[in-house]
Amino acid sequence: MEEQQQNALRKTSTSPFQSKPIRCIVKLGGAAITCKHELETINEKNLDTVSKQLRQVILSCPDSGKVLGMDWSKRPGTSETPSTIDGCCDEFKVDFEKFVVVHGAGSFGHFQASKSGVHKGGLCKSLVKAGFVATRISVTSLNHEIVRALAKEGIPSIGMSPFSCGWLTCERNMEAANVSMIVKALDSGFVPVLHGDAVLDTSQDCTILSGDVIIRYLAEELKPEFVVFLTDVLGVHDRPPTEPGAVLLREIAVDEDGSWSVVKPNVQDASKQVVVTVAAHDTTGGMVTKISEAAMIAKLGIDVYIVKAATEHSRIALSGDLKHNVPDSWLGTIVRPLRQQQ
């Protein structure tokens, strides 16, 4: 019986798309869409710009000037009448590129998780259990606001929490994650919006499943054309970008065994010289995890673009134009399979 269930999981998690394949998986970095030094504060300007850029690449008619806003609820403290569909007709029936959005927590969730030790497990402890609940309240509230921002731009976004979808980890590694509902949502014309989440762990009771790990898993299952990491910095540097002399690594090649090397610029032994820092409250590994997961995605034969959010560089990356032409003026980091360099 157990073997039959495992086979069923594999079949559902690799369900083929009924129509065109997925275009892109986007990671909205927590530090890019929130004010990381202000508890539970959204970077409204960045989120608004990113939402508009996503509309331009997801909708098939981005320059029409008409957007059917999908947030029809009334915001607390406002007297505005909710949006209506009066006058809307078939002109809004447009094709959508298939995108999946995954966002980090930033100033949401990390504080609660680190204070209670949720990432270390142990639900028998009252503090851990309370922290698990508090973390999920925080990250799902952020997910709601991001879905709302995308919906305002006419993007048919649907929030999907890993915990609620039944995703499980074992020793903090993905163990069970059925993506059939994500596939169905995509085929129905929706944009799934997932997030880093507190989840149950079969080894240590619970842990934090990072958005970067989710991205890698989805890339393996859904096989997108490319993946974009939107961050608060220009890309991967050889040391923290705030340090003098920090060099932006423009292109990283990943071998079939997962090892990687810097192609541009020519930095000797760069794979050993790259130094990163992780904020004290970050329970998901920060840039360390990001580089590792990007390399694992590139190993699958998928290009990864790491770029600063809400910039012209991010718009270019989201368009997919970097696959065949990388302008000299473009600033960011491309992580791609070594065989594409040859």
Q: Residue positions in the annotated binding site for substrate?
A: 105, 110, 211
Examine residue 265 and say whether the peptide bond preceding it is cis (omega within 30 degrees of 0). yes
Rg (CA), the chain: 20
Could you give the CA distance from residue 267 to residue 253 in angstroms, rounded to a whole number?
13
Could you give the CA distance from residue 222 to residue 287 in angstroms, rounded to a whole number?
24
Give the pairing of strands 173-176 and 205-209: unpaired
For CA atoms 298, 302, 307, 310, the dihedral sign is: negative
For CA atoms 122, 137, 34, 327, the dihedral sign is: positive
Q: Quote the DSSP letter at residue 34.
A: B
Could you give the CA distance from residue 298 to residue 290 in angstroms, rounded to a whole number?
12
Residue 222: its H or E element: helix 211-222
Kindly state the tokens that stand for 122.
């142990």
Contact 210, 113 (CB under 8 A): no
Strand order in the sheet with 226-231: 157-159, 191-195, 99-103, 24-28, 226-231, 303-308, 333-337, 251-254, 260-264
For CA atoms 262, 267, 268, 272, the dihedral sign is: negative
The binding site for ATP consists of 106, 232, 286, 290
Contact 304, 335 (CB under 8 A): yes
Q: CB neighbours (10 Å) of residue 260?
A: 21
Contact 118, 206 (CB under 8 A): yes
The binding site consists of 105-106, 110, 211, 232, 286, 290
